[in-house]
Amino acid sequence: MNTVPTITLDTNCIINLIDFTTKSPISVEALSEIIRYGLLNVAQISIITRVESDLLKDKNSERKAEMLRKISMFPIVGAVTDGDDLKNELQKILFPGLTDNDPRFHNKITDIEHLVGHKINGRDIFVTDDKSILKKSDILKKSPGIIVLSPEDCLKYIEEIEDKKRKVVLRSKKNNPDYESTKLSGIVTFDYSNNEHQFNIGEGYFLFETLWSKGSNSSIHSYRNPPSISAIALVKDKSEIQQIKDAVTYDYSSRSRTVLKGQILLLKNKNGFYAAIKILKVKSDTHGFDRDELTFEYFIQSDNTSSFNDAPKSSVEIKSFAAHVVQIGGIDSRNTTKTCWSTEGQEYFDFDELASISFNRGGDIMGLAPKEGYKISDCSSPSGNPIINEEGYPLGCRIMLEDKLKNEIIIYCEKI
């Protein structure tokens, strides 16, 4: 979507906005604000040429003349004569089974033509008060890719854009150099029971005041209470920060989150910037340790996007790990599930970053090997498969596959 959104107003919005003879106009306040933003060049507002033809049908000549005069202030997006495939698709979505006998046939065809003109002219948002179209907004967004919003939702969208532009320098009331890291990325370790449980990362526009409380030696609680934080979310489907493609898609509905060791916490600050924190180590003085301590790796996305694909790969050194593969289907099957975890604690790793699976041509031998820089310290088969220990094959462990429900292999590895 464009930085300045391009908005197309439906005929009903125009009528609600400028026909003062209407007894019960709706969305007038929202539409007036949208027009104001248009005059400020925050949004680019247009109408389709079909709006004029719609208004020409008005039998009240005085009202018709006045409304035609008023719409002249709006830029006009030309209607299109092609786009038959799009017209057919929209008709199936909005008015399935439409026939010439429908008393509102021509009105419905006009609705379709409005949307076709909007789409083919590459506009961002189609604004309407038509409930029958708004009900199909989710389908229209998926295919053919038309975003349809009510005036109220469109105004909310514009205001969110403006809020992001109005960034302010954030300042924390707790500026303790022992409990802050002003860099945009790094690894920190601190006692989370001190400094009122707060640790700051970043500064200025990019300040994030993180707040923590005790969980266990494998989990910790985080909160969105600090003034600089607007929302937090838990990432359960990714193990590395750079794997997060869109931070917006996660659930920010809770005030607090319990984060396990190895999991990632997303934070959004008051300026709309995102930060990702991966929990590396947790210590609790009520669970066997002599102090409360938290170690996490973080990255602040400073380019005003919600993608972390450009975040650096974890700089944490993995000294040892275990890799487990379950092959299902017996001989000749390549169907596997794979898991990789730390042998020093309850942390899971990206399997493909540390290990690889192989099969021989005959499909009756499966191998599991660590990536370069690691060596196998032990190997076993929980499913009881024969392990092949061949001279000249030192890099991995191999098992003979059998025709049974599952064949398993585990390797324990350490850094060379």
Residues 64-122 pLDDT 10s: 787 777 777 788 876 666 678 899 999 999 999 999 999 999 889 888 988 998 999 89
pLDDT in tens, 249-274: 999 999 999 999 989 999 999 998 99
Burial label for 177, CB within 10 Å (0-12, 13-18, 19+), is: exposed
- pLDDT of residue 394 exceeding 60, the answer is no
Q: Could you give phi then psi for residue 370, rounded to 5 degrees?
A: -80, 160
Burial label for 292, CB within 10 Å (0-12, 13-18, 19+), is: buried
Using DSSP, state whether 247 is helix, strand or coil: helix
- pLDDT of residue 159 exceeding 70, the answer is yes
Q: Give 40's pLDDT tier (boundaries 50, 70, 90).
A: confident
- pLDDT of residue 43 exceeding 80, the answer is yes
Using DSSP, state whether 323 is helix, strand or coil: strand
Which one-letter amino acid corresponds to residue 147? Answer: I
Which of 262, 372, 245, 241 has its CA nearest to residue 313?
Answer: 241
Mean pLDDT of the chain, nearest integer? 88
Check residue 327 and give its pLDDT. Answer: 95
Of 73 and 185, which is predicted with more confidence? 185
Check residue 2 and give its pLDDT. Answer: 60
Which one-letter amino acid corresponds to residue 354? Answer: L
Check residue 80 and give its pLDDT. Answer: 63
Q: Kindly list the strands in the beta sheet with 208-214, ordered across the sheet, starting from the edge strand earlier in the chain.
A: 180-181, 198-201, 208-214, 219-223, 256-260
pLDDT in tens, 188-234: 999 999 999 999 999 999 999 999 999 999 999 999 999 999 999 99
Using DSSP, state whether 56 is helix, strand or coil: coil
Asked if residues 269 and 252 have their Cβ atoms less than 8 Å apart, the reply is no
pLDDT in tens, 363-393: 999 999 998 889 999 999 999 999 987 654 5
How far is Cα 217 from Cα 220, in angstroms, rounded to an integer? 8
Using DSSP, state whether 105 is helix, strand or coil: helix
Of 411 and 25, which is predicted with more confidence? 411
Check residue 52 and give its pLDDT. Answer: 67
How far is Cα 142 from Cα 152, in angstroms, rounded to an integer? 21
* Model-wide pTM > 0.75: no
User: Which CATH fold would you assign to the domain 6-165?
Assistant: Rossmann fold (3.40.50)
Domain boundaries, the chain: 6-165, 177-301, 320-415
Burial label for 106, CB within 10 Å (0-12, 13-18, 19+), is: exposed
Place of tokens 């809770």: 254
